[in-house]
């Protein structure tokens, strides 16, 4: 028996499971369309059109007869028809991933703009766990994230919930003493606001991000890749300094204290301590 939901107006609406089930035949058909298009595109090494003339005049007549239509026009129309329900429902996106639509779209992403947008949408890490660690302040938050596509959205959420003007890093930036590099020495591991969240590596079943002070002004204007997606952050845990140190130990394979070392602290000479 189908499960029905009723909104406050008394109108019957689909549950997420029903929406995904209803979309399944369309997603399967789209997957086969993508596979056929990729097979046709890669069937020829030189990517020549099905028919062409060496004579420039006749070739120009052929192109004029074909009109300005894109070779991907039919496929783009089918992708465009599928995008609204994919943007609207996370359950439909999960089903599309289970049906291997990302693998079907990726071979065409470099040639067909609509296929690239579809592949980017299905790469959004829905319902994944993100662990953000600030080694300097020993702050850590574990979020379950849905609908966020870009690093800039994660930066904005941290700024709203914890502190503004931060720079996000991949875990590889962590130094031997559990600190972050000072200045631009860590720019190799910066995560830029326009990067997709899918670029953040997974560690131990979660995507791990290190947080430090911003070395350059944080962008005040940022346009999400998919503004239509509803973004949700569910806080799973707020870590204590000891727990943050434990997570940093797992990343670096070393034993770190619960309090962060002061990178610019000058050691006090022994005779000065004795005099004091």
Q: What residue spans of 89-219 are helical by DSSP H?
A: 90-98, 101-105, 113-122, 151-161
Structure tokens at 13: 């609406």
For a pLDDT cut of 90, what percent of the chain falls above it? 62
Q: Which range among 21-25, 48-52, 140-144, 147-151 shows the weakest confidence by mean pLDDT?
A: 48-52
pLDDT at position 66 is: 60
Q: Specify whether the CB–CB gap between 151 and 176 falls below 8 A.
A: no
Q: Specify whether the CB–CB gap between 219 and 152 falls below 8 A.
A: yes
pLDDT tens sequence across 126-181: 999 999 999 999 999 999 999 999 999 999 999 999 999 999 999 999 998 889 99
- DSSP assigned state of 196: B
125 pLDDT above the threshold of 50: yes
Distance in angstroms (rounded) separating the CA atoms of residues 184 and 170: 15
pLDDT at position 56 is: 81
104 pLDDT above the threshold of 90: yes
pLDDT at position 273 is: 35
Distance in angstroms (rounded) separating the CA atoms of residues 213 and 221: 19
pLDDT tens sequence across 248-268: 998 876 666 666 655 543 333
Q: What integer is the mean pLDDT of 51-80?
A: 76
- 50 vs 71 pLDDT, higher one: 71
pLDDT at position 146 is: 97
Domain segments of the chain as ranges: 4-122, 128-252
- Cα separation values, 21 from 26, 35, 124, 132, 230, Å: 10, 22, 21, 35, 21
2 pLDDT above the threshold of 50: no
Structure tokens at 191: 């995560």
- 184 vs 260 pLDDT, higher one: 184
Band the pLDDT of 61: cuts 50, 70, 90: confident
Structure tokens at 222: 């940022």
């Amino acid at each position: 028996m189908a499960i029905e939901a009723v909104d406050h107006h008394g109108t019957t609406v689909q549950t997420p499971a029903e929406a995904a089930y209803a979309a399944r035949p369309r997603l399967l058909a789209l997957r086969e369309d993508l596979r056929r298009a990729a097979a046709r595109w890669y069937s020829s090494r030189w990517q020549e059109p099905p028919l062409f003339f060496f004579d420039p005049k006749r070739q120009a007549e052929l192109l004029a007869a074909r009109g300005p239509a894109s070779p991907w026009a039919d496929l783009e129309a089918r992708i465009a028809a599928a995008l609204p329900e994919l943007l609207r429902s996370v359950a439909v996106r999960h089903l599309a991933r289970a049906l291997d639509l990302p693998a079907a779209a990726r071979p065409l992403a470099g040639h067909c703009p609509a296929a690239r947008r579809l592949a980017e949408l299905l790469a959004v890490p829905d319902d994944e766990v993100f662990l953000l660690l600030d080694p300097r302040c020993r702050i850590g938050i574990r979020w379950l994230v849905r609908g966020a596509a870009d690093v800039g959205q994660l930066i904005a959420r941290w700024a709203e919930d914890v502190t503004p003007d931060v720079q996000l890093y991949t875990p590889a930036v962590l130094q031997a003493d559990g600190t972050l590099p000072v200045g631009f020495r860590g720019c190799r591991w910066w995560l830029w606001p326009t990067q997709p969240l899918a670029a953040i590596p997974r560690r131990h079943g979660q995507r791990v991000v290190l947080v430090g002070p911003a070395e350059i002004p944080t962008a005040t204007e940022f346009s999400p890749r998919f503004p239509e997606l509803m973004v949700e952050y569910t806080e799973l845990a707020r870590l204590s300094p000891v727990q943050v140190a434990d997570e940093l130990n797992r990343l670096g394979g070393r034993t770190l204290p619960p309090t962060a070392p002061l990178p610019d602290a000058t050691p006090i000479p022994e005779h000065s301590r004795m005099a004091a």
